[in-house]
Amino acid sequence: MNNFVYILDGTAYVNLTNRCQNACGFCIRNTGDGVAGVNLRLDRDATADEVIKMYAALEERHTTREVVFCGFGEPTEALGVLCECAKRVKSMGLTTRLNTNGLGSLSAGRNIAPELAPCIDKVSVSLNHCDAKNYTAVTNSRYGERAFGAVLEFVSDCKKAGIDTTVSVVDVIGAAAVEKCRALAKSLGVPLRVREYVSDNYNDRITTEENN
């Protein structure tokens, strides 16, 4: 079964695709098959109808009213389905957040922020590191050192498009690099969130209700 939607701590997460432009050393795809006991390996991308149907089946456990496009891959790799789902989710009176590596515009070959703005309320962009060289080393991006600049541009474009935009890094990059990221975030005019490294794929949150 393809788990296109799952609930974690009362929030609904949408797992549209397993595709990604990066191959990060710290990706949770390297340490398991999903999160909190839900298998997120897909044999194909989701359709919008499948996401809405699966959400309806899990809706009872969705207490936060926020739907996060996240999952075991990069959601903007399935941009059309992402926008269609997000529009339908918003029309249900829910709020939407996109967790992204920020490479969607580079992949699409155009600035996608204006396409996201009508349907995505918040975007959280993983900076991964503080400069192009280190970014490339930790992400193994298919775009090489071009990727980091594209991520910064995407952050700026999302802010310009009126999306509530945040950048994040994982604390394992070290205090000095985190401080450089803080300065970068300040220069972009967005908040920085420093996340803890998750080594166990949220297996401490496994409940008997999970949809795996």
Question: Residues interacting with ligand SF4, by CB under 6 A?
Answer: 20, 22-24, 27, 29, 73-74, 101, 139
Question: Which of 115, 184, 116 lies closest to 151 in space, CA to CA?
Answer: 184
Which residue, 76 or 96, is less far from ligand SF4 as judged by CB?
A: 76
Task: For residue 42, give the H/E element and its range.
Answer: none
CB of 82 to ligand SF4, least distance (A): 14
Reduced to 3 states (helix: H, G, I; strand: E, B; else coil), residue 137 is helix
How far apart, in whole angstroms, are the C-alpha atoms of residue 173 and residue 47? 36
19 or 90: CB nearest ligand SF4:
19
**By the 8 A CB rule, do 197 and 25 touch?**
no
Q: Which is nearer to ligand SF4, 5 or 94 (CB)?
A: 5
Least distance (Å) between residue 189 CB and ligand SF4? 23
Tell me how far, at minimum, the Cβ of 145 lies from ligand SF4, in Å. Answer: 16
Nearer Cβ to ligand SF4 (29/41):
29
Question: Residue 39 forms beta bridges with which residues?
Answer: 34
Answer whether 84's CB lies under 8 Å from 48's CB. Answer: yes
CB 190 within 8 A of CB 20: no
Cβ 14 to ligand SF4 shortest distance, Å: 14
